[in-house]
Amino acid sequence: VKGIPSLFLTFLVTVVSCVFMTSDYEIIKNMILGFFRVENRDKIINTKRTITKGVSKLFKAYATIMLITFLEMFIGLSFMKLIGVYKGGYIAIIAFVTCIVDIIPVLGTGTVLIPWAVYSFITGNVGLGIGLVVMYAVVTVLRQIIEPKLVANQVGLPAIVTIAAMFLGARLFGAFGIILLPLTVIILKLMYDEGVIGNKALVEQENAKTDLAETGE
């Protein structure tokens, strides 16, 4: 309760700052670019564009994952209600809340389904408890399968690279590293594709020469 005024003030300042920054975007951009040489300005603009594109692609991937989780929860609860195991309502709301919680690395679907399943077992509703445990297992396994593939497909990365980035991110930076390190890899890949870092055109030319030489042999 004591933190509510501070939280409200932070929210208000953030909104007002965003409004002013948006209205003065061109002025701020030109002022920042003015600190750099002309030959470096294009790289800075491309870098900003690439980061925005990377975040957008990652957001699209996780939005798809949220939709899949919502459908899994909705179908699972609807099926349990159909066979008489689940007698409650608000299926769509529960599915929506669960998919929101699931996307947060620190939490996940287990935050909702495991306590609910334990409560069901304690109160004697064994059928619902078993159904929730099964649904948790299905959602978790499918999430582990589709997440690396969806994230990788957005930028043309091999799935193994995405999996490795998620694993290393979790080991190095904890739960938020699962998103942080893959996002970094995506941005670096896009920057390489855009020519901001490295020399993709030169590498492709060298590969083409190698392939031509091997074909001639």
Using only C-alpha atoms, the chain has a radius of gyration, in whole angstroms, of: 24
Using CB atoms within 10 Å of the CB of residue 114, give its burial: 0 to 12 exposed, 13 to 18 middle, 19+ buried: middle
Structure tokens at 188: 């670096």
Query: In the predicted model, what is the mean pLDDT of residues 65-83?
Result: 90
Tokens of 205: 């030319």
Q: Which two tokens stand for residue 46?
A: 């491309």
Residue 99's nearest CA partner among 78, 115, 113 is 113
Segment among 68-72, 174-178, 193-197 with least mean pLDDT: 193-197
Confidence category of residue 62, pLDDT binned at 50, 70, 90: confident
Enter the pTM of the model: 0.65
